[in-house]
Structure 1
């Protein structure tokens, strides 16, 4: 059996994660929430580094053009190519993020989005350095990663996570790679208690999104506006994720 921590793409390609991605596809409002936290000034050409099944990519392609989708593994690549077959502004490429700098340069990428990917990589700073090397001055990287190391447990292990981040640890990784952080904040305060319950108390050894029933997913979808409002009012001091926007000086 292969090591589940091998890299982001080995994990993102397996059948369990593939199914989980489709379940999360019912939560398009969550991806829209994430995109809104990145701000309004988004520039193309853009890349979605670790595009998965393309749920976030579809929203991104409505905002910027052209979009380069980087993904590895036959299952997700097939899904992406079918999903965006009729969109000439979207290009899908099989690419290892640890060897992506030349490809990003070739496509003159100005914005790199990477959601829930860095935690799967043994050396997150090395990949961020490649992003830095590929972007022109004033180019930006947009990041979302799982937060709060004290939440780390069986769910993270089953998901192939090396780590969970704090605002400080993500900022350090991004700055070490040469970027200047413009924004770094927690997201989804309401998601912390159920994650703690399922990972640290119940010790569920499966991907977090797979622990929700269809009815629970629909309930979360309906609650999304309230969750966003609570986050905007509270700060929030902690959250299930950290989002970051950083610029290459």
Structure 2
């Protein structure tokens, strides 16, 4: 494992998560009420969430990795809501002409990979129309940062306060900001902090995926006091 670089770990992790369809459906269910108009999915990876977004409206995907985009294109090119994919390093200005009018930017597990995340949020704000929305999911809890994060190239895990401040600084009006996936935080702690792993276990991901319905049921009944991730929705106003 010591010879595997960040790019390889990210690709391996995305491959492992290919079997986590219930997990991605859960994410989709959480963000679905906030989707509107044309959707831009930034950092689409291998298209695990794209599959669900296409049922809600026109979808354009973007990623820095051309091979991921080719994979997603092959998978979804015949879908009526598929608007194509673009190679875009979000640390640079976007292409001048998008194939659709973007009303919602979906950014799942992306911001933590960017050192200057404020500049990215400013860029997203500029790209959106008035009342357009940014939906983001990021790793939560600073104290949970461990070798799993380092292996994936994460610069940080976010506190609720930090994410709130950064969205506010970039002029987004926050519609919701909450913890997500309580049991995922426990697994992340055991794998990364206790066992010092740098790569997710495919066996554990598969077991987690099977138990998602149970986790949803439990989390719906208890206060959202912590979780593996934070879900935030900001609106341009």
> With structure 1 as the length reference, what TM-score do the two structures score?
0.87
Q: Are 1:63 and 2:56 matched, yes or no?
A: yes
* Residue-by-residue CA offset, 1:153-196 (whole Å, 9 max, x unaligned): 11111010000012211111111111010100001111222211
Spell out, residue by residue over 1:181-237, the C-alpha distance to the aligned partner (whole angstroms, 9 max, x if none). 010000111122221122122211x23xx3232xx3332222111111222211210
Displacement of 1:105 after TM fit? Answer: 6.1
The 1:73/1:238 distance shift into structure 2, 3 A limit, reads same
Which residue, out of 163, 178, 202, partners 1:212?
202
The aligned counterpart of 2:192 is 199
SS in 1 for 2:179: strand
User: Does 2:18 correspond to 1:25?
Assistant: yes
CA RMSD of aligned residues (A): 1.8
Deviation at 1:244, TM superposition (A): 0.6
1:236 aligns with 2:224: yes
**Aligned counterparts, 1:164-203, within 5 A:** 164-203=157-196
Specify whether residues 137 and 105 from structure 1 end up closer, same or farther in structure 2 by C-alpha distance, changes over 3 A only: farther
C-alpha change, 1:135 and 1:127, in structure 2 (3 Å) is: same
Distance 1:179 1:105, change over 3 A: farther
Matched-pair contact (CA < 8 Å) for 2:9–2:151: no
Q: CA deviation at 1:17?
A: 1.9
* Matched length: 232
| Alpha-carbon separation, structure 1, partners of 2:54 and 2:21 | 14
Distance 1:111 1:100, change over 3 A: farther
| 1:100 CA displacement | 4.1
Distance 2:208 2:87 in 1: 33
Give 1:66-145 correspondences, 5 Å limit.
66-90=58-82, 91-103=84-96, 107-145=100-138
- Contact between 1:148 and 1:240, CA under 8 Å: does it hold in 2? yes
Structure 2: gaps spanning 5 or more residues: none
| 2: CA distance, partners of 1:57 / 1:104 | 21
Query: What CA distance in whole angstroms lies between the structure 2 residues aligned with 1:126 and 1:218?
Result: 36
- How does the TM-score come out when normalised to structure 2? 0.91
Unaligned runs of 5+ in 1: 5-10
Runs of 4 or more off by more than 6 Å in structure 1?
A: none
Deviation at 1:41, TM superposition (A): 4.5
Q: Distance in 2 between matches of 1:15 and 1:189?
A: 27
Which deviations, in whole Å up to 9, do the C-alpha atoms of 1:75-100 show, x marking residues without a partner? 21221121122235321111111224
Residue 224 (structure 1) aligns with: 212
Is the Cα–Cα contact under 8 Å of residues 153 and 200 in structure 1 kept in the other structure?
Answer: yes
CA contact (8 A) 2:9 2:152 kept: no
Q: Residues 161 and 137 (structure 1 numbering): CA distance in 2 closer, same or farther, change over 3 Å? A: same
Distance 1:96 1:197 in 2: 33
Q: CA deviation at 1:101?
A: 4.1
